[in-house]
Structure 1
Amino acid sequence: MSTPPRPLIGQAVTFLYADPPEPSWRFYEEVLGLPLVQDQGTCRIYAAAEGRAAFLGVCRARAPRATDNPRAVGGVVFTFVAEDVDGWYAHLRAKGVDIPAAPTLSAQYRVYHFFFRDPAGYTLEIQRFDRPDWPAP
């Protein structure tokens, strides 16, 4: 008996939770300038990349976050992939975003990147892959 082909996945949504969510909504709309795709009242969904294949939902939290450590079970790092990392760094600094360190090259992962946090404390990253095996958008 043969296995049926894997069905296609056309889009992806990552959900983050904040309490209160309003500062995060303002951050994603006004600072990052992400287009609002859907306002569900207690949850807003934004286009996270061109082409509307990746989305970021920011919802009202129903319980405290499990951990502040993004690399622990239950932690999150949301990464935006962009060619102009330095341009994003300048843009976010001009908007008053606290960025602990300037963009750097990670030799281990071959990415040029920097980290910052949203108003709910989630770790966000802007990065560019400096490797030929990463698929172009």
Structure 2
Amino acid sequence: MTAPFDQQITFLYAEDPAPSWRFYEEVLGLVLAQDQGTCRIYAPAPGGRAFLGVCRARGPRVTDNPRVQGGAIVTFVVHDVEGWHARLVAAGVETATKPSFSEAYRVTSFFFRDPAGYTLEVQRFERPDWPAPARA
């Protein structure tokens, strides 16, 4: 049996990626790990195991519904969900929801969109069986 993967990258695509790059760098404060010209890869958490790439799209988006086949929701896991909500609202980001608890999933979270229309979520697990993040 092969070992688990060493790293993971999720790629998002935008017809005009510059506003998304500014959003991820300036509003969310993600660390730029690599600039490839038409694609920038960010490190959302310390440790160098998971990354988020934002690249120039080759065509327009087909649907804004993230819960259909081919859709995506990018979730950032953090303890201070309420603090992140306040930070984003103060930065002028329109959130779809306020932080709320989901009994079905036992998480507290809220949703918003990036400049390219991707659905993003900030979430805290409210369950002891979720693995704690490694600290750098």
For 1:130, the aligned partner's letter is E
> 1:78 aligns to what?
74
Distance in 2 separating the partners of 1:32 and 1:10:
25
Structure 1 residue 94 displacement after superposition: 0.9
Counterpart CA distance in 2 for 1:112 and 1:75 is: 22
Matched positions, count: 133
Determine the structure 2 residue equivalent to 1:40.
Answer: 36
Runs of 4+ in 1 over 6 A off after TM superposition: none
Query: Among 76, 99, 105, which residue is 1:103 paired with?
Result: 99
Corresponding residue to 1:61 among 32, 44, 57: 57
**Superimposed CA distance per residue, residues 66-118 of structure 1 (whole angstroms, 9 cap, x where no aligned partner):** 32100001111000000000010011111110012210000000000000000
Cα separation, 1, equivalents of 2:62 and 2:7: 27
Matched to 1:136, the amino acid is: A
Q: CA deviation at 1:8?
A: 2.8
Structure 2: 5+ residue runs without aligned partners? Answer: none
- Does 1:52 find its partner at 2:39? no
Does residue 127 of structure 1 match 2:123? yes
Q: Distance in 2 between matches of 1:8 and 1:107?
A: 31
Secondary structure, in 3 states, of the residue corresponding to 2:109? strand
Whether 1:15 aligns to 2:11 is: yes
The question of whether the paired residues in 2 share the 8 Å contact of 1:66 and 1:74 is answered with: no
Name the residue aligned to 2:25.
29
Are the counterparts in 2 of residues 66 and 75 from structure 1 also a CA contact under 8 Å? no
Q: Is 2:108 the partner of 1:112?
A: yes
Residue 7 of structure 1: how far off its partner (Å): 2.4
Is contact 1:83–1:128 with CA below 8 Å preserved after alignment?
yes
Given residue 124 of structure 2, which amino acid in structure 1 is its aligned partner?
Answer: R
TM-score, reference length from structure 2: 0.95
